Amino acid sequence: MCGIVGYIGDKSASSVLMEGLAKLEYRGYDSAGIALLESGKIEVERSVGKLINLREKLSDKKYSANVGIGHTRWATHGKPSFDNAHPHSSEGLTIVHNGIIENYIELKTMLKEKGFTFVSETDTEVVAHLIKSNFDGDLKSAVQKTVQHVIGSYGLAVLSEANPNEIIIARKDSPLVIGIGEGEMFAASDIPAVLSHTRKFIFMEDGDITVLRKDGYTITGIDGQPVDREVKLIDWNPVMAEKAGYSHFMQKEIYEQPRAIIDTIRGRYSLEDSRVNFADFEKIQSVVKDFSRVVIVACGTSWHAGLIAKFYIEKFAKIPVEVDIASEFRYRNLVIDEKTLFVAITQSGETADTLSALRIAKEHGAKVISVCNVVGSSISRESDSVIYTHAGPEIGVASTKAFTTQVISLFLFAIYLGQERGTMSSDEAGRYLGEVLKLPEVIEKVLEQDDNILKLAKQFKDASDFLYLGRNVNYPIALEGALKLKEISYIHAEGYPAGEMKHGPIALIDKDLPIFILCPKSSVYEKVASNVEEAKTRDGIIIAVVTEGDEGLKGICDHIIEIPDIIEELSVFPTVVVTQIFSYHVAHLLGLDVDQPRNLAKSVTVE
Ligand code: F6R
């Protein structure tokens, strides 16, 4: 997820772009850059790190351009560096891009054969050269030809010296809006970027290509045919706009999950041959059959993702998996060797305990894979291979979309291991991949239940304790649900395997204790249903999360939340989203700082 801004009008383009980028910094902050059309020539200014660095660089420059494009980056291809920062240029034109180009390797090879040279590791530079190679004086048709050959997602803005009176923008699976001013036009990946200049917006749709001129715009489809898009008047205040109308970043990130999952799986599977592929897996690929054991290490929410991955990997790849908390792993007498595959899970890639655990595993000769959301982070740099989760930056301290994208990455990874090791057939892999594709819609349906979950939050916000129970893959979700509630609402909550309740926690149950029971259709449904009975007999207040159409628990439970039907392995997605929404509402209703809960930090770089 990156931020894009474009401007054409009479104002100082560099000021409009820098102001816009500041509003988009939440979308990415590992580097930033702008390109200006200055007296007919493109001038590019870029810098690594936060926007402040670019601002300082520009402070002693006097640009008078009235046309330009800008970008703030969240790396997906190529580490955060000067060379990888946008805009990316090809003689006489320059572009900024948000998204992922899946066929960039194939396109790069073709362009190299045509004589283009590359200075960055990005997929975006490929698009810049491709536009150039299609350019015959008409920039819009060059962009149109280019996007017809691109597979993947893009929000694009293109500037060319040969066409100084226009900016071309294009969109597929990556947000892009047009801002309409008086004698000026704007482009942005999100409304807040230009809301101080206009309230009139068009939300571009997939396949739209727009020519922005000072005095107007023209939108066509990918086939060149004109299309009509409605102009909308936006009446958000600036704070609402930054969060895209949501009250908090956490809420926004919960709602981003269907899209984030699509970004995570993009380009990593093929339904034609039912295979999973990861880029940058050379070091693992050659030894994948040799591992006798997988050791997963992580902290907090990422550790919960690891607990779920154990089910996936043991089932699909038939390798024993241990899951450890990084701070515990470090101080044991470890039995690890070169036959161990070590998997570090971390959204930030900077967690001190996980990093130390990884170093110890390497010292013992293990091969190391990390599942990480931050390209170029310490853990990703020190790993043999990385599976990037492509969730985009997560601003809310409580992890939501970072977690679900970890889990889906690990699900694909387990299929990969199963196929490489010959323990999973193509048919089976194809069936599971088909189920994965249902997830965005399944999560959307859970999000539609927000109001029902809010009602429950209102009813239970003053409870002093909660119990969360689940079994099998939903046991880690019980832990995660309890952690989410604790960290943002400060209400005491415990997560337990439902079958373990009778060995102790059952003593806590009385008429005042709300118990979240995760009981979707599964191989352990009957077992969990008996646990519900046990809890109800002790007068506990049961809130059950069940598969839609399940009548079995309706008479027993106090409250039912229905989730769509999905295979057991993937039921963790709808169940966790229910618990995220519940925790979010409870904390919000209690008037707490949802995005920055007390005593917590987004990246824990101390032991
Ligand atoms: C909870 C949460 C934390 C992190 C933990 C590990 O919502 O976000 O529990 O999961 O601090 O962080 P990473 O994944 O960055 O290693």
**What tens digit of pLDDT does each residue of 167-188 get?**
999 999 888 999 999 999 999 9
CA separation for the pair 511, 541 (Å, rounded) = 6
Give the model's pLDDT for residue 515: 96
Q: Compute, in angstroms, the gap from residue 158 CA to the centroid of ligand 1.
A: 38
Percent of the chain at pLDDT exceeding 70: 98
Question: Do 140 and 72 reside in the same domain of the chain?
Answer: yes
In this predicted structure, the answer to whether residue 363 has a pLDDT above a threshold of 90 is yes
Triad 470, 435, 401: Cα angle to 5°: 60
Among 408, 437, 466, give the residue marking a domain's end. Answer: 437
In this predicted structure, the answer to whether residue 358 has a pLDDT above a threshold of 80 is yes
H-assigned helices in 230-372: 238-242, 249-255, 257-265, 282-285, 300-317, 326-329, 352-363
Question: Do 429 and 472 reside in the same domain of the chain?
Answer: no
Does residue 351's CB lie within 6 angstroms of at least one atom of ligand 1? yes
Q: For a pocket test of ligand 1, which of 303, 304, 351 has the largest count of ligand atoms closer than 8 A to its C-beta?
A: 351
Partnered with residue 202 across adjacent β-strands are 178
Question: Do 361 and 345 reside in the same domain of the chain?
Answer: yes
Give the model's pLDDT for residue 354: 95
Chain centre distance of CA 406:
9
**What tens digit of pLDDT does each residue of 541-597 get?**
999 999 999 998 988 999 999 999 999 999 999 999 999 999 999 999 999 999 988
Contact of 536 with 544, CB cutoff 8 Å? no
Give the model's pLDDT for residue 10: 97
In this predicted structure, the answer to whether residue 606 has a pLDDT above a threshold of 80 is no
Mean pLDDT of 73-79: 84
CA separation for the pair 174, 241 (Å, rounded) = 18
Among 210, 242, 274, give the residue marking a domain's end. Answer: 242
Give the model's pLDDT for residue 173: 84
How many other CB atoms are there within 10 angstroms of residue 112's CB atom? Answer: 13
Residues contacting residue 487 through CB under 8 Å, at least 6 positions apart:
397, 398, 597, 600
Give the model's pLDDT for residue 393: 79
Longest Cα separation, the chain: 80
Question: Do 453 and 429 reside in the same domain of the chain?
Answer: no
pTM for the whole structure: 0.83
- Name the pLDDT band for 2 (thresholds 50, 70, 90): confident
In this predicted structure, the answer to whether residue 383 has a pLDDT above a threshold of 70 is yes
Q: Where in the sequence is the domain holding 388, given as residue range(s)? A: 252-437
Using CA atoms, how far residue 185 sits from 14, 67, 181, 233, in Å, is: 14, 10, 5, 15
Instruction: Give me 86's structure tokens.
Output: 């946008």
Going by alpha carbons, the residue nearest to atom 8 of ligand 1 is: 399
Sign of the dihedral through C-alpha 15, 18, 23, 24: positive
Does residue 395's CB lie within 6 angstroms of at least one atom of ligand 1? no
How many other CB atoms are there within 10 angstroms of residue 352's CB atom? Answer: 17
Is 595 a domain residue? no
Our answer to whether residue 310 is catalytic in this structure is: no
Give the model's pLDDT for residue 217: 97
Our answer to whether residue 602 is catalytic in this structure is: yes
End-to-end CA gap in the chain: 30
Question: Do 349 and 427 reside in the same domain of the chain?
Answer: yes
CA separation for the pair 530, 498 (Å, rounded) = 9
Q: Compute, in angstroms, the gap from residue 50 CA to the centroid of ligand 1.
A: 22
Mean pLDDT of 488-498: 96
Q: For a pocket test of ligand 1, which of 328, 348, 387, 483 has the largest count of ligand atoms closer than 8 A to its C-beta?
A: 348
What's the chain's average pLDDT? 93
More confident residue, 74 or 521: 521
In this predicted structure, the answer to whether residue 607 has a pLDDT above a threshold of 70 is no
- Name the pLDDT band for 605 (thresholds 50, 70, 90): low
Is 374 a domain residue? yes
CA separation for the pair 484, 487 (Å, rounded) = 5
